[in-house]
Amino acid sequence: MNSLAQGVRATDLKRTNGRVVLDDVRIYGPTTAPEIGKRTSLSKPTVGSALRSLEAAGFVCERGSKAGRSGQAPLLWAIDERAGLVLSIDVWTQWVRLGRRSLNGQPRGTFRARSESGSAEDMLHALTGALNGLLAQESLAREAIVYAVMGSPGVVDATSGRLQHASNLPGWDDKSTLTALHDLFGPNFLIMKDVYLAVLGEAEARNIDGAKDFVLLSVGRGVGAAVVRDGQPLPGANGLAGEIAFLPLGVDPLARLPRPRDARSPGGWASPCRRVGALAPCT
pLDDT of residue 254: 55
* Dihedral, CA of residue 178, residue 98, residue 114 and residue 154, to nearest 10: 40
Q: Among candidates 108, 179, 115, which has minimal Cα distance to 140?
A: 108
Top-level class of domain 3-81: mainly alpha
Q: What is the pLDDT of residues 255-280, one digit of tens each?
A: 555 554 444 444 433 333 333 333 34
Q: How far apart are CA 116 and CA 122, in angstroms?
A: 6
84-195 topology per CATH? Nucleotidyltransferase; domain 5 (3.30.420)
CA distance 255 to 252: 5
The whole-number average pLDDT for the span 6-35 is 80
pLDDT (tens digit per residue) in 137-178: 878 888 888 889 998 887 777 677 777 777 778 888 888 888
Determine the Cα angle at 274 with ends 270 and 277, to 5°.
145
Helices (H) and strands (E) in the chain, counts: 7, 13
Query: What mean pLDDT do residues 41-49 have?
Result: 93
Q: What is the mean pLDDT of residues 93-99?
A: 88
For 127-138, b/e burial (b = at least 16 CB within 10 A) is: bebbbeebbeee
Whether residue 247 contacts residue 225, with contact meaning beta carbons closer than 8 Å, is answered with no
Per-domain boundaries in the chain: 3-81, 84-195, 210-275
pLDDT over 90 percentage in the chain:
22
Cα distance between residue 135 and residue 99, in whole Å: 11
Contacts of residue 75, Cβ cutoff 8 Å, sequence gap at least 6: 32, 33, 62, 64, 65, 66
Residue range 240-256: average pLDDT?
61
Helices (H), 139-283: 175-185, 194-207, 272-275
Chain segment 46-63, per-residue pLDDT in tens: 999 999 999 998 889 998
Helices (H), 111-193: 120-136, 175-185
Q: According to the model, what pLDDT value does residue 281 have?
A: 40
